[in-house]
Amino acid sequence: MRPWALLLAAGRGSRMAAATGGTAKQFLLWKGLPLYWHSALTFSRSAAVAGVVFVFPPDELPAREAELRTLDAHAALGLPWKVACGGAERHDSVRNGLAVLPREATHVLVHDAARPFVSARLVREVRDALADGAQAVIPGLPVTDTIKLVEGERVSATLPRHRLMAVQTPQGFALDALKAAHAAHAAAAAEGGAAPVTDDAMLMEAAGHTVRIVAGEKTNLKITTAEDMAALAPPQALLPRTGMGYDVHRFAPDPTGPGARPMKLGGLLIDKAPAVLAHSDGDVLLHALCDALLGCACLGDIGDHFPDADAAFDNISSALLLDRVLTLFHRSGLQLCHADLTIVAQKPRLAAHKDAIRKNVARLLHLPPTSVNLKATTEERLGFTGREEGIKAYAVVSALGASSATSDAERDSHAC
C-alpha cells in the first residue's frame, strides 16, 4: 500500500514576514531549493509514497506550477505530481488537495511544507501503521515542559504531562474516512457550530476514529518563527586552531625596589623565590598563556590590550588579565580544548609546585585538569635563565572554531 502525499504549501507566513522580506516560509530557499521541494524529495526517497499533490496559494498557482516543472526537470522527483489551490484556512486547503487525488488512491499523508527536515524513516513509519489497519496515524513527541491551562493572566489548571504529546506531520489517513470527516466539519461550519481545526487528526477524533501515535523526531522541526530560521543556516565545520605564547621577566636586584613583584606562577604565589620586575604582578606563565589565547583567536598580543604604559594595569593581577582575554577568546567563537605550558628557570625549583600550578591554571581556564599540562625545566646554566637573571615561559593552546569566527571579537577587542 503506497499512499499519496498532500504537501501543504498555501500559507502566507504572516508571522515571519518581517524576517523573510515577505516570502512565505515554505518558499524560502535552503541549499538552493525551496523548502517544500525538500519535503517532496524525502517522500520520493522513502519508497512509501505513490505521488505528491502540492497545494499552493491561489494567486501563485501558475507560477509555482511552472517552478515545479523546472525543479522536476533538473532533479527528477521520480513520482507523479499534481497541484491544487489553497483555501482560506488549513482545512480548506486539505479538502482542495484531497479533491485532486487519483481515483485509485486509498490513503493519504498530509504534511506541512514548512517541515523540510522530515526523514524517509518517519514517512515509512506512518505508512506502515496505515498498512496495519489504522485509520489515522500521527507522529508525536512526549512533552517535557510543564503545561499550564490559563485564562487571561491566571493559571486555571496544570495538565498531566505524561498524557501530553507534541504532534508533527506527516499525518496518515484512510482517504474515505478523512473525506467524510472533512465533509462533516464543512456541514457543521455551515451551521456555525464548527470548532477551529489545527490538524486533520482533530477531525478524525471528532468523527469517532481512533488516532494511532508513532514516535516523532526531534529533528522534524517546523519553521514557524524567525528564530527557527537558524536551522536553515549552513553548518560551519569546526576547524582546529593553535596559539603559541612566550614571555620573560627579569629578576629584581632589590626585592623591595620599584617594580619588584613577589613571584607568581599560574596565579599562585611562590614562596622563597626571587622577585621579578614587572608593570603588572609579573606572572610570566599567565602572560605567556594570554598571548597564546590571543594568538589562537588572531587578536594580537597582550601588549596591544594591556600596555605597560597604562597606569590602570600597574600591579594588576594577571589572573584578571587572563579572564579578560578569555572573554575576547570566547567572543571569537572558539572552544578551548587544551593547554601545554613550560616554565624555564634555573631557580626556583618548581617540582613541589607543579601540580598546584597546573590545577589552578585549569580552574582559571574552566578546563578539567586533564586538559592542562605543565612542564618545568632549566637551561643547564646557559643564557640569562642559566645565569639566574630571570624566568621565562612558553604556552601552546589548542581550540576548535569556525573559520570566520573572529569578526565579533575583532570589533570588540579594544573594549577592554
Note whether 221 and 245 are same-domain residues: no
pLDDT at 27: 86
Spatial separation of the C-alpha atoms in residues 181 and 162, rounded to whole Å: 28
> Are 11 and 139 contained in the same domain?
yes
Would you say 323 is a known binding-site residue? Answer: no
Alpha carbon 253 to its chain centroid, in Å, reads 55
pLDDT on residue 413: 36
Q: Which of 232, 248, 282 is the last residue of a domain?
A: 232
Q: Three-class SS of residue 339?
A: strand
* pLDDT, position 16: 52
**Mean pLDDT, range 176-201, rounded to an integer:** 89
The verdict on 199 and 248 lying in the same domain is no
Burial label, 357 (beta-carbon count in 10 A; 0-12, 13-18, 19+): buried
pLDDT tens for each residue of 365-409? 999 999 999 999 999 899 998 899 999 999 999 999 875 443 443
Query: pLDDT at position 18, please?
Result: 53
- Binning pLDDT at 50, 70 and 90, where does residue 15 land? low
From 197, 232, 267, give the residue that closes a domain.
232
Model confidence at 88: pLDDT above 80: yes
Three cell numbers, residue 148: 499550564
Least confident of 141-145, 208-212, 243-247, 404-408: 404-408
Q: Is 230 annotated as a binding residue?
A: no
- Which region among 40-49, 73-82, 218-227, 239-248 has the lowest average model confidence (pLDDT)? 218-227
Question: What's the whole-model pTM score?
Answer: 0.62
- Same domain flag for 203 and 267: no
Q: Do 117 and 178 lie in a common domain?
A: yes
Q: Is 247 annotated as a binding residue?
A: yes
Region 278-301: what's the mean pLDDT?
95
379 annotated ligand binder: yes
- 217 and 273 fall within a common domain: no
Q: Is 151 annotated as a binding residue?
A: no
Same domain for 212 and 293, yes or no, is no
Last residue of a domain, one of 214, 232, 250: 232
For residue 342, pLDDT beyond 90: yes
Structural domains of the chain, count:
2
Q: Which of 24-38, 119-133, 249-263 has the lowest mean pLDDT?
A: 24-38
222 and 331 share one domain: no
219 and 273 part of one domain:
no
248 is in an annotated binding site: yes
Mean pLDDT in residue range 305-329 = 90
Are 159 and 257 part of one and the same domain? Answer: no
- pLDDT for residue 278 is more than 70: yes
Report the candidate in 159, 115, 140 with the shortest Cα–Cα distance to residue 216. Answer: 140
User: 310 labelled as ligand-binding?
Assistant: yes
In terms of domains, do 205 and 253 share one?
no
Distances (CA, A) of 102 to 69, 81, 99, 331: 20, 10, 9, 56
Residues 284 and 304 in one domain: yes
270 annotated as ligand-binding: no
| C-alpha to C-alpha distance for 390 and 374, rounded to whole angstroms | 19
Find the CATH number of the domain harbouring 289: 3.30.1330.50
Task: Specify the CATH number for the domain of residue 176.
Answer: 3.90.550.10
Q: Which domain holds residue 330?
A: 239-412
